[in-house]
Amino acid sequence: MVNLSKETIKFQPKIIGFLCNWCGYAAADLAGNLRRNYPVNIRIIRVMCSGRVDPINILNAFLSGADGVLIIGCHPGDCHYLNGNYKAQRKVHLLKQLFNEVGFEPLRLHIDWASAGEGDRLSKIIKNFTLNILKLGPNLMRCN
């Protein structure tokens, strides 16, 4: 179990999480009930569907100093609104391509799937993503 407390690690990543109401957010609730620990670096924002997340929201998050952005949607085929998660996956893919071209680390953006009953899986996803962002270091970009 990695110790991510302020005493041991100085750089505390700021991670913005867009969790869809029906799957991702419910999974986070379940993780809480099951007492599954995950790092507190993530700030969770509930959206009705992962497909609602606009690329401008992700860009603004990074320009405001977020070190990582995580989007959790329903598994492919299980979206409450049928295909919102597919749209989200494609938006994220194009955005990562764009980040790569401008020299911004595309690994700072990640999209994953977790159903409402997978509290354990969600806590693992958040833990792994936080560790990855820790390895990548702080987001040094400045916003005017």
Partner 1 sequence: MALFPLTTCSGCENAILDLWIDIEETLKNIEITYAPILMDSEEPKNVDVGLVIGSIRTSEDLNKLFRWRDKSKTLVAFGSCACYGGLPGLINNFNISKVIIDIYKKSIEYESPHSLPKLMEHIKPAPSMVKIDFMVPGCPPPKMLIPKFLNAITYGHEFSLPTKNLCMECPLNTSSEKNISEIRRFSLNIMEQNKCFIEQGIICLGPVTRCGCEAKCIKSNTPCRGCLGPTLEVDESAMKFISSLASSLSLTDIDIKDLNRIKDLVGFLYRFTYPSSKINLMEEKK
In the complex with partner 1, the residue whose CB is nearer, 37 or 97, is 97
CB nearer to partner 1: pick between 10 and 103: 103
Q: Which residue has the tokens 């990640």?
A: 110
User: Which of residues 123 and 139 has its CB atom nearest to partner 1 in the complex?
Assistant: 139
Reduced to 3 states (helix: H, G, I; strand: E, B; else coil), residue 109 is strand
Min dist. Cβ of residue 20 to partner 1 (A): 16
Q: What dihedral angle (degrees, nearest 10) is formed by the CA atoms of 13, 16, 22, 24?
A: -20
Contact 67, 130 (CB under 8 A): no
Question: What backbone phi and psi angles, to 5 degrees, belong to 103?
Answer: 90, 20
Smallest distance, partner 1 to C-beta of residue 90, A: 4
Site residues, partner 1 (CB under 8 A): 51, 54-56, 59-60, 62-63, 83, 86-87, 89-91, 93-95, 97-99, 101-105, 139-144
CB of 131 to partner 1, least distance (A): 20
Q: Which helix (H) or strand (E) holds 73?
A: strand 68-73
Q: Kindly state the smallest distance separating residue 54's Cβ from partner 1, in Å.
A: 6
